Amino acid sequence: MTKAADLEQLNPGLSNAWPKLSELLHSAVVSPKFKAFYDAKISAVAEGESMSTKHYFDCATVLHLTDAATGRCAVLFQSDMDVDTDGTDPVRLPRLEDYDDARISRSFQPVLAYSWAMRGADKAENPFIRYYSDTLTRLRFFEQEIAKEAANDHGYIWQGAEKYFGDQINSLDKKAKYYDQDLRERRSLVGSLDPFIVVPQTWPDRLKLPFSVQVGDLVAVIYSGNVYPCLIGDTGGDTKAGEASQRLAIAINPKASGRNSAVETVGVTYVIFPKTRLAMGPPDLSVLHSEVARLLGEMGGLGAGVALHSWQ
């Protein structure tokens, strides 16, 4: 898909928000990332993974764009928008209660790829260190109580309960050990605070080619005629595209949550600007705004009456 009319049909208002896109598409090249993305899906299905139609067709295209006048490059992909609630930062959000909505998600991860070391006055104890430890202690206590019942009752209920608790303990123990050092030493973007997107884990590379992307690169997200500045905050599975932080998702759809997608269709246009990562740290949203505005300006700028979203 390289025609402006096709993208406009998926995302009405796109051509008005970014008038020069039509011209840029004349020289657009389909990215190798697109084929690799669907090769990964085909392999996953062939290996027995169950994949819904929505999941399988969650990316309509991935394109390489170049503005001939300025040399500015961008990677555009067209997808849906699921919601990412991951990430913790004990300095900005020090209490476990600050993450009550986020950790409802079964896939919640406390540290993202976009993270930075705690230093000096920034040091604080991450609430998940104690939470994981205390929870494991309680689960092991209950496991012992259930084991006593299971020893006397070989029926399915108690045997199943014993297995369930064992599986939960093993899973949480692995997660706690995996993240322990990062929880003690690093801060991260937070889904509820920071505007970011998640890209497939196979997309970032270290080749330093014109269209090589990396975590931290700046991004413009366009939907329904509105444009939102953000950055790449994390990587996800190699068969999943179209995911944004809770902060960004709610700006697009106030009903979005860890359980509800912001946009169900492939109606969101994501524009990544390669090699634009700023210093890792808590995002300065005013700098993020000005930098994304500058980058868009190098590719024709926004349309008349269209303003880049300002994060308050």
What confidence tier does 141 reach under pLDDT thresholds 50, 70, 90? very high
Name the average pLDDT for the chain. Answer: 94
- pLDDT beyond 90 at 247: yes
pLDDT at 123 over 90: no
Region 143-170: what's the mean pLDDT?
Answer: 94
Q: Give the tens place of pLDDT for each residue, 229-239.
A: 999 999 998 99
Tokens for 63, please give them.
């394109």
Sign of the torsion formed by the C-alpha atoms of 88, 285, 58 and 30: negative
Amino acid at 143: E
Q: Span 239-248, mean pLDDT?
A: 95
Long-range contacts of 41-50 (CB under 8 A, 24+ apart): 41/239, 44/239, 49/239
Judged against a pLDDT cut of 90, whether residue 150 lies above it is answered with yes
Give percent of the chain with pLDDT exceeding 90: 89
Percent of the chain past pLDDT 70, that is, above it, reads 100
**Phi-psi category of residue 78: left, alpha or beta, with phi > 0 → left and psi -120 to 50 → alpha:** beta
Give the DSSP per-residue string, 102-130: GGGSTT--S--SSEEE--GGG----HHHH
Query: pLDDT tens-digit profile of 205-243?
Result: 877 788 999 999 999 999 999 999 999 999 998 999 999
Question: Which of these, 110, 126, 114, lies nearest to 184 by C-alpha position?
Answer: 126
State the first-to-last Cα distance of the chain, in angstroms, to the nearest integer.
Answer: 35
Between 259 and 38, the more confident residue is 38
Question: Is it the case that residue 1 has pLDDT exceeding 80?
Answer: no
Which conformational region is residue 238 in: left (phi greater than 0), alpha (psi within -120 to 50 degrees), or beta? Answer: alpha
- Going by DSSP bridges, is the β-strand pair 196-200/226-236 parallel, antiparallel, or unpaired? parallel
Contact by Cβ (8 Å): 104, 83: no
Buried b (16+ CB within 10 A) or exposed e, 260-271: ebbbebbbbbbb
Q: Is the pTM of this model over 0.75?
A: yes
The predicted structure's pLDDT at residue 208: 78
